[in-house]
Amino acid sequence: EAGVAQSPRYKIIEKRQSVAFWCNPISGHATLYWYQQILGQGPKLLIQFQNNGVVDDSQLPKDRFSAERLKGVDSTLKIQPAKLEDSAVYLCASSLDLRGNEQFFGPGTRLTVL
């Protein structure tokens, strides 16, 4: 069974530029999550989708971050404009549903903002 796929693996941009990350979850997983992991910390949830609807985006900085999951499968996370403090690893995860099932994580995208 294929795992969660993410691209790109690494991205370096200047502050105020925009960037987009892509995620393809495990086939059949209805729930998709985007986490931000700053160096030395645990992952923090940014946004959670159930199929193509948003379940929780309370910690997403909506003035600069946006995410979509149009057909209930792939998802993109965008940052525009980027700030220095956005430097982090962005992790995508998926689970079967919302009922306490384990989440499976992709390899992440390491973003460096200069």
Binding site for another protein (CB under 8 A): 31, 33, 35, 40-45, 48, 50, 55-56, 89, 91, 93, 95, 97-108, 110
Q: Quick one: 24 or 103, whose CB is closer to another protein?
A: 103
- Both tokens of 66, joined, read 């946006």
Those residues whose C-beta lies under 8 Å from the C-beta of residue 30, and which sit 6 or more positions away, are 50, 51, 72, 95, 96, 97
- Both tokens of 12, joined, read 């370096």
Q: Quick one: 27 or 41, whose CB is closer to another protein?
A: 41
Q: Quick one: 82 or 103, whose CB is closer to another protein?
A: 103
Within a 10 A sphere around the Cβ of 6, how many other Cβ atoms?
22
Smallest separation, CB 84 to another protein (Å)? 21
